[in-house]
């Protein structure tokens, strides 16, 4: 107990919706952390499977775990509900199918305490639905800017499971946008950077990102809707420093949507629509990007 008083409390929020297949492994990865001063808030978003029963078993066995039950209103609202109940100086949002390695909290809290930053993330490896590694490493860098994010130039990972924030910072910028699901992590980081926030990376793997058929990131329609809304929000908030820069950002975003529909969505017609949009808004930059793509 004495050791915990020397370490700041970290609050962890896990939004859960029909996650019975992976939830036990996810929660156990929190319990296995070498950093011991944490609280876990599991927010059940109206699950229809046995997710709530699994969570309740953990809560009975561990007093640091609490459960919030609510009707189904989406992952971003669930994160915000959890955020309103946290007591920690720092807060982490862990998706209910991802897995932390034992040193995840220890590594990132060390960074947050020893550097003047507002959020920390780390490298991750992908795993499949059976927790087997897929030999895919996702890295990142520190000191990327809002302009980098808007132009898709930053080497970063915005998946919530890899991020830890100062609770005061997340609260001050209003938490997650309830209208977003797939891109909610990207948009909250944009807001953080727009408010002069700083992000640092821990340059080692400390968690596993699970790839499976139910991943929101694999739902092209959701990704399309969220990406368009994220850039609409950025435009309304005047994140783009001038019109020429905005046209480059939108052109690249349209090409990314085109590639997603072409490759993953198996819809070349939809892909061509976004290629046309890119050419209309910035023909020169679009040509440059496509020629570079062809060279690779």
Rg (CA), the chain: 20
Residue 1, pLDDT score: 44
Please say whether the dihedral angle defined by the alpha carbons of residues 16, 20, 26 and 32, taken in this order, is positive or negative.
Answer: positive
Asked whether residue 295 carries a pLDDT value surpassing 70, the answer given is: yes
94-137 pLDDT, tens digit per residue, is: 999 999 999 999 999 999 998 889 999 999 999 999 999 998 89
* pTM of the entire predicted model: 0.92
Give whole-number Cα distances, 248 to 163, 241, 280, in Å: 28, 11, 11
Asked whether residue 269 carries a pLDDT value surpassing 80, the answer given is: yes
- What is the pLDDT averaged over residues 176-204? 94
Higher pLDDT, 5 or 77: 77
Q: Any residues with CB less than 8 A from the CB of 259 and at least 6 apart, and which? A: 271
With b for 16 or more beta-carbon neighbours within 10 A and e for fewer, the 118-136 pattern comes to bbbbbbbbebeeeeeeeee
Asked whether residue 2 carries a pLDDT value surpassing 50, the answer given is: no
Q: How many CB atoms lie within 10 A of CB 4?
A: 12
Tokens (6 digits) for 59 = 């809560």
Tokens (6 digits) for 204 = 């080692």
194, 178, 8: which is closest to 83 by C-alpha?
178
Percent of the chain clearing pLDDT 70 (strictly above): 96
Residue 5, pLDDT score: 55
207-251 pLDDT, tens digit per residue, is: 999 998 765 455 889 999 999 999 999 999 999 999 999 999 999
45-89 pLDDT, tens digit per residue, is: 999 999 999 999 999 999 999 999 999 999 999 999 999 999 999
**Average pLDDT of every residue of the chain:** 93
12, 26, 68, 76: which is closest to 212 by C-alpha?
26
| Number of helices (H), then strands (E), in the chain | 12, 9
Percent of the chain clearing pLDDT 90 (strictly above): 84
């Amino acid at each position: 107990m004495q050791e915990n008083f020397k370490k700041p409390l970290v609050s962890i929020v896990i939004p859960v919706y029909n996650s019975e297949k992976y939830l036990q492994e996810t929660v156990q990865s929190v319990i296995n952390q070498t950093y011991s001063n944490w609280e876990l808030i599991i927010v059940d978003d109206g699950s229809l499977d046995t997710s709530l029963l699994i969570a309740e078993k953990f809560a009975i066995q561990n007093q640091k775990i609490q459960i919030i039950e609510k009707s189904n209103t989406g992952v971003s609202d669930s994160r915000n509900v959890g955020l309103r109940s946290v007591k920690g100086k720092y807060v982490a949002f862990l998706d209910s199918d991802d897995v932390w390695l034992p040193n995840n909290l220890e590594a990132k809290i060390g960074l947050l305490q020893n550097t003047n930053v507002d959020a920390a993330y780390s490298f991750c490896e992908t795993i499949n639905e059976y927790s087997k590694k897929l030999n895919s490493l996702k890295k990142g860098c520190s000191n990327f800017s809002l302009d980098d994010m808007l132009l898709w130039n930053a080497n970063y990972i915005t998946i919530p499971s890899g991020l830890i924030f100062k609770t005061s910072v997340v609260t001050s910028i209003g938490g997650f946008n309830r209208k977003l699901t797939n891109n909610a992590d990207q948009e909250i980081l944009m807001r953080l950077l727009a408010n002069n926030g700083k992000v640092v990376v821990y340059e080692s793997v400390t968690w596993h990102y699970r790839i499976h058929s139910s991943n929101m990131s694999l739902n092209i329609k959701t990704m399309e809707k969220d990406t368009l809304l994220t850039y609409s929000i950025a435009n309304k908030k005047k994140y783009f420093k001038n019109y020429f820069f905005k046209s480059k950002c939108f052109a690249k975003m349209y090409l990314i949507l085109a590639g997603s529909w072409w490759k993953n969505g198996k819809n070349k017609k939809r892909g061509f629509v976004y290629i046309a949009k890119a050419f209309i808004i910035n023909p020169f930059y679009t040509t440059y990007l496509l020629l570079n793509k062809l060279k690779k």
